[in-house]
Chains A and B, each alone.
Chain A
Amino acid sequence: MTPDAIPVSPVSTLECRSCGAGAPVDEHFCPQCSRILALGRHGDYFTFFGLPRKLTIAQDDLDRRFRELSRKFHPDYYYNASPAERLASLERSSYLNDAYRALRTPATRIEHLLAIEGLPSTKSEGETSAAKVPPALLEEVFELNEELDEIREQRESGADLAALASRLDAARAPIERKREEHERQIEALSAQWDSQAETGTPAERRAALEALRETLLERNYINNLLAAIDREAAGIGLQSSVSGLQSEDPPKTVDRRP
């Protein structure tokens, strides 16, 4: 799902459909009658989980919160409830599951943070300007593309596949190194955001987010490069362990002509 589809909430209070009382927008249950509240136009997964808007999240803690909230919202437990509560249970459970999916992995967590802080998604940019190579990667991309072209040509003219396979491995190595480097950068930037989240000036916070976004964009690009290498490997017949599946799923060539 594209994170920019998440509407950021202008609503500040909820109305309980069971008793009519007003409730703060972050509450899950009505303070008055303790029934489950309909989902407001929420938008912030961190507060939904009762977490600060920080990127370092202990996996165990997130899992535990997810299970606790699941036990509170799940439709299984509202089978005998009123239609309004059943609907609220379905909506809150879905939202919880979406939120958990987004916060579970660092990359999607950052995506969500960028979205609620009002920055454009890295995904949409990746799609609309796919050809734009991040400046920091120009050199690697240029070399890799040349190498891939050559390997493709040689494969078509019937070269030794084993030799091509090892060339492909060699081409992969620098990209993998770049990726690891970016993982470390993202971690450092995340830690920086977390420390500034409370004390930083708005300008510092904005800068941290911009840096995160830039790095994430590059990382997405690197992942695309690695996927291209994988496709080429599949073309050579280097089957990974899931050979049975790959045969059903040929390399993805998407015809985007209107």
Chain B
Amino acid sequence: MGKVVGIDLGTTNSLVAYVRDGEPRVIRDSSGDALVPSVVSLGDDGTVFVGREAQRRLLISPSRTVYSVKRFMGRGIDDVKDEAALLPFGVSGEAGGVVRIGVGDREFTPPEISAFVLRELKQRAEEHFREQGEFDFEVDRAVITVPAYFNDAQRTATRDAGRLAGLEVLRIISEPTAASLAYGLDKKNRGTIAVYDLGGGTFDISILKVEDGVFQALATSGDTHLGGDDIDRVLIELVLREIGGVPHAGAGGSREQDPPHAAPAETIQAIRKAVIQAKWDLSDHQEAEIRVEPQAGLPKGYRRAITREEFEAMIRPLVDRTLGPVRQALSDAGLEPNDIDEIVLVGGATRTPLVHRLVAELFGKTPHSDLNPDEVVALGAAVQADILVSGRREMLLLDVTPLSLGIETIGGVVSKIIMRNSTIPASGREMYTTSVDNQTSVDIHVLQGERELVADCRSLARFKLRGIPPMPAGLPRVEVRFQIDANGILSVGARELRTSIEQSIEVKPSYGLTDQEVERMLIESFEHAQADFDARLLIEARNEGETVINATEKSLRRPDFAEITGGELTKDELAQIERALADLKHVMAGTERETIHEKTHALNHATRHLAEVMMNRSVREALAGRNVKDI
């Protein structure tokens, strides 16, 4: 058996964690970074880049680089039209079907894009275990987190992504409950916890009761389309408004109708990068600068000072939108804000001082922030994974289904079968009969949502119930059983009670992939495995090159560098270093791994003497003024 991990598959960033010696820990790369940007980019030659490398390519190849794909998981094109317009990559799909993302000449579904990110995390974990000297380093199983408010289709899409990445998905758990597990580890005490989770693209609030190590979710609510991305968007729109002319080359007057995002994709990405930096700066400072360097789409560049006050006024409406779900969850749990004993903040966007302040005001308590809000969900997922495979029983997570489940009845009205905030697993049943003589099949439409009318709820699936024994109308008694499992995913079973005949059910998920589609994608992903492997080697070569470039440039900036070139280092050697440095920089952006390797090696070689000189100097400095005796 291979290793088991917990994965936080985020809108903006993803992480992987595992438990060792009862202690959950996130897996970092060699530079100590735990976050893998949830960005996937397709090179011109078909190589797939994931993470930091793909993020860099946002600036140079935006139309071939996909981000925030979590927003499209389990959704149809009609759901996402508006926001797709703001994205530089192509989003399409048939009405009533799965969203398709066009990158170059290839087309992907959101689970396929997510699978690239998951595969990257899997590889990162495997490398980590290998480095630790583990004999059995393969990662084959995972617990993956989703926003608490994800519906059935979104959860299923996430599970499909895991399968496509070659992982057995042990469990889908909700992010806030995962976070509470990470916090509850060393606290055996009882109490009521509110988890406020404002991530890159989604907002969740969950209220949990903890007693005897049982973490029981009481209520959950949220908004699957509200997060840090929206804060960025407010700022991007501000910049686009202020640079005005860009999207309107030659457009006469009708500014209102022209979307401001008609600016070139490269420019949008440069602006996006700049505003995110400013947003971060504003978490620690009262004032920051949004600074976009001059470039093709924006010849003069852009600079603007922004105060925290200004920023908070702009994003206040967004943050206020979280308060509705918070009140809803409290009221569903039958609690008042001051009944909450502890508040846990999750998600990078909760670093924004305004969010912190509003949450503290609402509950009248200071929220916890002892764990890194970016890492706490992955840690909790690792704990849950450990519970599942180790059989340890001191903790148990009881989650709820966020949305009511129902079926369509006469007149387009939804009849609810399992109510929202029911502890899962949960089940429900409904009796059916026939309306004409000798009818042998019945159509069933399953919906999720709180509204009364079919049109206002989310269509999950249509079932055809077959094999009903021919009988006069109204005589058959078909019991349809709905089962929501511990993942929050629905399955359906049916039986004719008079004859005890099990019915066969044909499922057509409204916004998901069929099993056959998943199978096909699995085969395709094997076909692309070689290209993906090449991409990985290229990234490694680039990282290595970058390390050497940085080290070299750092030594060239040393205060005593002039002294070195005047003494130990010859003019010739310096010229060689500079040439090798320029050579390497030149090939870095290319995709020829061997060349990058070669030039890296050359620079390493050219700087060998310089490194020795610097080493000697450091030793001399360290020893200066000390007695031989002290050494």
A binds B: yes
- Whether, in the assembled complex, B619 has its beta carbon less than 8 Å from a beta carbon of chain A, the answer is no
Q: Which residues of A contact B411 (CB under 8 A)?
A: 255-258
Asked whether, in the complex, the Cβ of A97 is within 8 Å of the Cβ of B388, the reply is no
Central interface residue in A63, A94, A243, by most chain B CB within 10 Å: A94
Closest to B392 in A: A77
Interface size on B, residues (CB 8 A): 48
Q: How far is the CA of A93 from the CA of B424 in the complex (A)?
A: 8
Asked whether, in the complex, the Cβ of A101 is within 8 Å of the Cβ of B422, the reply is yes
Given contacts A93-B425, A244-B324, contact A67 B211 (CB under 8 A): yes
**Min CB distance, B76 to chain A, in Å?**
20
**Min CB distance, B447 to chain A, in Å?**
15
Q: Which of B485-512 contact A (CB under 8 A)?
A: 485-486
- Whether, in the assembled complex, B246 has its beta carbon less than 8 Å from a beta carbon of chain A, the answer is no
Closest to B486 in A: A75
Chain A, residues 1-26, CB within 8 Å of chain B (1/0): the string is 10001000000000000000000000
- Whether, in the assembled complex, A254 has its beta carbon less than 8 Å from a beta carbon of chain B, the answer is yes
- Pick from B324, B384, B389: contact of A245, CB below 8 A: B324
**Which of B302-310, B412-420, B539-547 is the contact stretch?**
B412-420
Chain B, residues 392-426, CB within 8 Å of chain A (1/0): the string is 01001110000000000011110001110011111
A: interface residue count bin: 20 to 34
Q: Which residues of A contact B486 (CB under 8 A)?
A: 74-76, 90, 93
**Min CB distance, A69 to chain B, in Å?**
11
Q: Which residues of A contact B425 (CB under 8 A)?
A: 75, 90, 93-94, 97
Asked whether, in the complex, the Cβ of A94 is within 8 Å of the Cβ of B427, the reply is yes
Q: Which residues of B contact A243 (CB under 8 A)?
A: 324
Chain B, residues 449-489, CB within 8 Å of chain A (1/0): the string is 01111000000000000000000000000000001111000
Q: How far is the CA of A30 from the CA of B619 in the complex (A)?
A: 74
Q: Which residues of A contact B331 (CB under 8 A)?
A: 242
Asked whether, in the complex, the Cβ of B324 is within 8 Å of the Cβ of A242, the reply is yes
Asked whether, in the complex, the Cβ of B450 is within 8 Å of the Cβ of A249, the reply is yes
Asked whether, in the complex, the Cβ of B410 is within 8 Å of the Cβ of A1, the reply is no
Please classify the interface of chain B as helix (H, G, I), strand (E, B), loop, or mixed, using the class held by over half of its residues. Answer: mixed
- Whether, in the assembled complex, A201 has its beta carbon less than 8 Å from a beta carbon of chain B, the answer is no
Given contacts A77-B391, A79-B170, A245-B327, contact A71 B426 (CB under 8 A): no
Closest to A6 in B: B429
- Whether, in the assembled complex, A177 has its beta carbon less than 8 Å from a beta carbon of chain B, the answer is no
- Pick from A76, A252, A257: contact of B397, CB below 8 A: A76
Q: How far is the CA of A81 from the CA of B429 in the complex (A)?
A: 27
Chain A, residues 78-95, CB within 8 Å of chain B (1/0): the string is 011000000000110111
Q: Which of B367-394 contact A (CB under 8 A)?
A: 384, 387-389, 391, 393
Given contacts A90-B485, A252-B452, A258-B411, contact A76 B387 (CB under 8 A): yes
**9 tightest A-B contacts by CB?**
A244-B324, A94-B427, A97-B423, A94-B425, A67-B214, A79-B388, A75-B486, A245-B324, A93-B425
Binding site for A on B (CB under 8 A): 170-171, 211-212, 214, 216, 320-321, 323-325, 327-328, 331, 384, 387-389, 391, 393, 396-398, 410-413, 417-419, 422-431, 450-453, 483-486
